[in-house]
Each structure stands twice: as C-alpha cells, then as structure tokens.
Chain A
Amino acid sequence: MTPTPDVAVVDDGVLVGILAGQPAPLIEQVDRVVTTSLWHYRLCRAVLADAGGPLARRLAGASTAARLSLLALPGIDVLGLSTLAVDAARFSAVLVDDQTVRLNALGAEAVAVVMATSATLVLATENPNLRRVVSSLGVDLVVLDR
C-alpha cells in the first residue's frame, strides 16, 4: 500500500481525473496538489484547442466559456519553467548509473517542480526515463491504476 504523501506533483492524466470529478483516492488524501506548467498546457490544449480525434469529437459543441470554467484548477498550484528554468535545465540530462538519461522539457520541468516541492510524483501513465531520474534523486513515484 502506498503511503499518502503530503504533496503530490501530478501529470495531466491525473489532472483530467480531478477535473472530471473522479480524483484518485490518493489525490483526495494529500495536503497539496501541484502540477507543472507544461502538463497544464497539454491539458488546456486538449480542452481548448481542437486536438483532433475522439477527444475533440467528445467535447465538440461546448462553448469556450464552459471549457474555461472546466479548466479552473481550484486548490491546485501550477509551477514550472517560468520560475524554475535553471533547475529544469539541469535536469534535462542526468547521470544515472554512469549513463546519461535525457529528459525533454516536460520531464525536466516535472523533476524541477517535484524537487522544489519535496513532493511525490503521481502519474497516470508510466514514464521510464522520468522514473529512472527521480529514483536516482530519492523521489517517490506512483503510477495510478485506472
């Protein structure tokens, strides 16, 4: 059983569950939920722009105002590159077991935010590179089952 963290940094897949009114039990128990600016951006892009595919068809016809209201993140902090750019850049390439693991901007920002908040990283989907890096830094990572 996963111990409940005080702070959770969540990806956009977890955020969608929160916005959809289906937060994971773990998320309901944490004191503070944080996401990153790029995960937030991916979510906003999916809801506000025409992302194409079944998701866009599912949301078709909804007004922009309703979409904006849905995207309000009550009680969720968004942190990221605007304030943690230097840290994120450091985490774009991390030496793990004598191998350099490279992270894209999304991953590097996530590591910077999770380190800045002393949080547990909570993902909707597995991310092997991110797991290797945060494990080497002593950060807990949880992948939610849906």
Chain B
Amino acid sequence: MANGGGSGGPWRGDGGRVQLSVRVPPALRDAARRRAEVVGVPLRDFIQQAIEVAVAQPPVAPEEVRDLRARLADALDAGEYANYVASIDDADLADP
C-alpha cells in the first residue's frame, strides 16, 4: 500500500498515542465494524488504516467530484452504463 497503509506506515514511529474522538452516524459506525470484521482486523486498526489511506490521497476538490457524479448520472440516464455492460465480451464478466 502506498505511503502510510498497513502496519508499516510512516505514522507508526511517531511515538505516543493521542485520542481522536469523532461522532459519526450509527450506520457509518456499523458499516465500519462490519468491514473491519470482513477484512479481519480490530475496529481500532481498521479506523487507523482508513485515516492513513485518506491522508495519503491527493486532495480532490469537492466540486470536481460533484461534476463527475453529475456526469455519471447523465450517463446512467442515457443508458451508457447499460451499454458498457452489454459490450463486455469477457465470458466471466459478461451478463448472459
């Protein structure tokens, strides 16, 4: 994993620990618990890894993501995603 993920990230050697308290919606907490269980790590480690990945990502302007989301919605309305799926010729990935 790039910069900071997993157990060998650069943040591990900073020494000491601080408490980070964040209130989140119950559904997000439940989803984090389930995902941590699926990947087989304690919730605490899962959250730390998620934060490490997040801070390693290049910043993205919210409006850029909103624009892309709008374009995806237009593609969906125009049937372009369905056409993409229909064009897949890999036997194990295609719809029958």
Residues in chain B near residue A62, CB distance under 8 A: 64, 67-68, 71
Residues in chain B near residue A59, CB distance under 8 A: 68, 71-72, 75
Asked if A90 CB lies within 8 Å of chain B CBs, one says no
Q: Which of A103-146 contact B (CB under 8 A)?
A: 104-107, 124-125, 127-129, 146
Q: Which of B71-96 contact A (CB under 8 A)?
A: 71-76, 78, 80-85, 87-88, 91-96
CB-CB under 8 A for A20 and B76, given A54-B83, A58-B71: yes
The listed residue (A13, A67, A70, A76) touching B81 by CB distance below 8 A is A13
How far is B38's CA from A106's CA once the two chains are assembled, in angstroms? 20
How far is B95's CA from A53's CA once the two chains are assembled, in angstroms? 18
How far does the Cβ of A89 sit from chain B's closest Cβ, in whole Å?
A: 13
Q: Are A66 and B60 in contact (CB under 8 A)?
A: yes
Asked if B18 CB lies within 8 Å of chain A CBs, one says no
How far does the Cβ of B12 sit from chain A's closest Cβ, in whole Å?
A: 24
What interface size band does chain A fall in? 35 or more
CB-CB under 8 A for A55 and B81, given A62-B71, A104-B94, A106-B92: yes
Q: Are A42 and B96 in contact (CB under 8 A)?
A: no
B 48-75 to A, binary, CB cutoff 8 A, 1 in contact else 0 = 0000000001111100110111111111
Q: Which of A47-84 contact B (CB under 8 A)?
A: 47, 51-55, 58-59, 62-63, 65-70, 74-77, 79, 83
How far is B68's CA from A70's CA once the two chains are assembled, in angstroms? 7
Asked if B27 CB lies within 8 Å of chain A CBs, one says yes
How far is B67's CA from A59's CA once the two chains are assembled, in angstroms? 10
Q: By DSSP majority rule, is chain A's interface helix, strand, loop, or mixed?
A: helix
The listed residue (B83, B91, B95) touching A55 by CB distance below 8 A is B83
Q: Are B72 and A54 in contact (CB under 8 A)?
A: no
Please indicate which of the listed interface residues A42, A53, A55, A107 has the most CB atoms of chain B within 10 Å of its own CB. A55
* B interface residues with partner A (beta carbon < 8 Å): 27-28, 31, 34-35, 38, 57-61, 64-65, 67-76, 78, 80-85, 87-88, 91-96
Can you report 30 residue pairs joining A to B where beta carbons are below 8 Å apart?
A16-B76, A20-B70, A20-B75, A21-B73, A38-B92, A41-B93, A42-B88, A42-B93, A52-B87, A53-B80, A54-B83, A55-B80, A55-B84, A58-B78, A59-B68, A59-B75, A62-B67, A65-B57, A65-B59, A65-B60, A66-B65, A66-B68, A68-B60, A69-B60, A74-B31, A75-B31, A104-B94, A104-B96, A124-B82, A125-B82
